[in-house]
Amino acid sequence: MSETDPDLQEIRRRKMEALQQSALRRAPNTPVHVTDGSFAEFVRAHGTVVVDCWAPWCGPCRSMAPIIDELAAKWAGKVTFGKLNTDENPRVAQEFGIMSIPTLLIFRGGQFVDQVVGLPPKAQLVQMLAPLAA
């Protein structure tokens, strides 16, 4: 079998999809990479979800990333964090009317409840999100 064998490619595709679905269901202690295709399942699979909508060229997004990583580790099992690259996944950004990044989308029980736009100071961001982990 060669690397270009269609059967082998399909097996690899199904295996990757299964691994991604598994990652979406567990309560990770690091942010989960979310796409337009996995977004709805990710939000439904966890009780409280914060999705960091970002882009690689965005300076404030890069500043927010270590804060999100820290909170994902600190609040693992209470809040599940996801990261959605808006350049690669425009459908979710359009659906939620995201006009500025970073934007955090907040969900409870699969329902959208709030958003945070921009990069507030770390202490303020933690104070805003802390009730989610209570």
Which tens digits make up the pLDDT trace of 71-114? 999 999 899 999 999 999 999 999 999 999 999 999 999 999 99
Question: Catalytic: which of 58, 71, 101, 105?
Answer: 58
pLDDT band at 3 (very low <50, low <70, confident <90, very high): low
Tell me how far apart the alpha carbons of residues 95 and 122 are, in angstroms, rounded to a whole number. 27
- 58 a catalytic residue: yes
- 53 a catalytic residue: no
Question: Catalytic: which of 61, 79, 104, 119?
Answer: 61
Could you give all domains of the chain from N- to C-terminal order, each with its CATH number? Answer: 6-133 (3.40.30.10)
Centre a 10 Å sphere on the Cβ of residue 123 and count the other Cβ atoms it contains: 8
